[in-house]
A and B are shown apart, each in its own frame.
Chain A
């Protein structure tokens, strides 16, 4: 078993995840309570809130998320490629460009079909 830097990363994650709870607990302790109705409304950047928070999202958000995850996968393949590039040489360059080219075809398709248009 070899942990490397991961204990520190784990500590960072735990620290970041506990931060909201710590801050809220702190606010509970030090705050002065004088509630009014207006103070208990949801904060929506200064506007009067209306409707429910659980609205139906438009499908275009999903399309962007979809493109995001597919290029996310591409990144996952790019990292080992970059690390091993010294040994792979020209062959490695060609195969990675082929990979990226095929994925770019998908991007071009999405573009042409108007999936990226934010209307």
Chain B
């Protein structure tokens, strides 16, 4: 009975907040509602004996992920996107597609699985030390290779994201000389004006491409 109450409460919260994430007009509110979704899913994890995963979900998704999403929003601004909504055709298509997926998946999960309830000894271990130890023993013996590959993935992600995001402030030197030759050919701004422009661009105030194009 307790499980039912907790389950329905977290379900209500997560589904409502998820609808908010999708349909709220302001993207900042969407990002904040996403925290609520993540936290309530962490609650669902707790109901499924996954205590370590609930904490991991909180610190990675509810804290880390929303921080980078919020900084992304802060960089791109949320005013620009309060524009005209989608065409009704696309709304309809997406709704039909999602309903189809929903019905399909619901039909799939109705398949009668044979369920063996967890043995009492496992529950006992969980009550004493939590799932973290069991998880560690499995992760670092049977799943060593994926674990090491995960570090490679994280390395690649780090390098890739830095290369993509950084561009303006360390490579401004190279970029400005390149851009300079273009604008001199077209006979527009002087060298001084250009260097001032690039200083501004490296601070992120001006967008180079647009200035040189105009």
A positions within 8 Å CB-CB of B? 1-4, 6, 10, 13, 54, 56-63, 65-70, 72-77, 79-85, 87-88, 91-92, 95-96, 98-99, 102-103, 105-107, 109-110, 113-115, 117, 119
Taking CB atoms, residues of chain A closer than 8 Å to B67 are 65, 68-69
A99 to B127, Cβ gap below 8 A? no
Interface residue SS majority, chain A: helix
Q: Is the interface of B mostly helix, strand, loop or mixed?
A: helix
B39 near A13 (CB under 8 angstroms)? Answer: yes
> In the complex, how many angstroms separate the beta carbon of B122 from the nearest chain A beta carbon?
10
| Nearest-Cβ distance from residue A40 to partner chain B, whole angstroms | 23
Q: In the complex, what residue of chain B is closest to A99 when comparing beta carbons?
A: B151
Contact, CB under 8 Å: B151 / A54: no
Asked if B139 lies at the interface with its beta carbon under 8 angstroms from chain A, I say yes
Contact A3 B169 (CB under 8 A): no
Contact A54 B43 (CB under 8 A): no
Indicate if the CB atoms of B140 and A66 lie closer than 8 Å: no
Chain B contact residue count (CB 8 A cutoff)? 58
Q: In this complex, what residue of A is CB-closest to B45?
A: A6
Q: From known contacts A4-B127, A73-B60, A80-B133, infer whether A92 and B140 are also in contact, taking CB-CB under 8 Å.
A: yes
Which residues of chain B have C-beta atoms less than 8 A from A106's C-beta? Answer: 154-155, 158-159
A1-B49, A58-B204, A113-B162 given; A84·B140 CB < 8 A:
yes
Which chain B residues border A115 with CB–CB below 8 Å? 162, 166, 170
| Complex interface: chain A residues within 8 A of B52 (CB) | 79-80
Q: Which of B166-213 contact A (CB under 8 A)?
A: 166, 168-170, 203-204
Given contacts A2-B49, A68-B67, contact A76 B136 (CB under 8 A): no
User: Shortest Cβ distance from B1 into chain A, in angstroms?
Assistant: 11
> Mind listing 23 A-B residue pairs with CB under 8 Å?
A4-B130, A10-B43, A57-B75, A59-B165, A59-B166, A62-B72, A66-B162, A68-B64, A69-B60, A69-B68, A70-B158, A72-B59, A72-B60, A76-B56, A84-B133, A84-B137, A99-B150, A102-B151, A102-B155, A103-B155, A106-B155, A109-B162, A115-B162
Docked pose: A59 CA to B163 CA in angstroms: 12
State whether A70 touches B154 (Cβ < 8 A). yes
Contact in complex: B59, A88 (CB < 8 Å): no
Contact A65–B68 (Cβ < 8 Å):
yes
In the complex, which residues of chain A have a beta carbon less than 8 angstroms from the beta carbon of B63?
A: 72
B22 contacts A by Cβ under 8 Å: no
CA distance A18 to B74 in the complex (A): 26
Residue of B whose beta carbon sits closest to that of A100: B151
Q: Which of B87-95, B98-106, B107-115, B141-149 contacts A (4 or more CB under 8 A)?
A: B141-149
Partner of B165, one of A63, A73, A87: A63
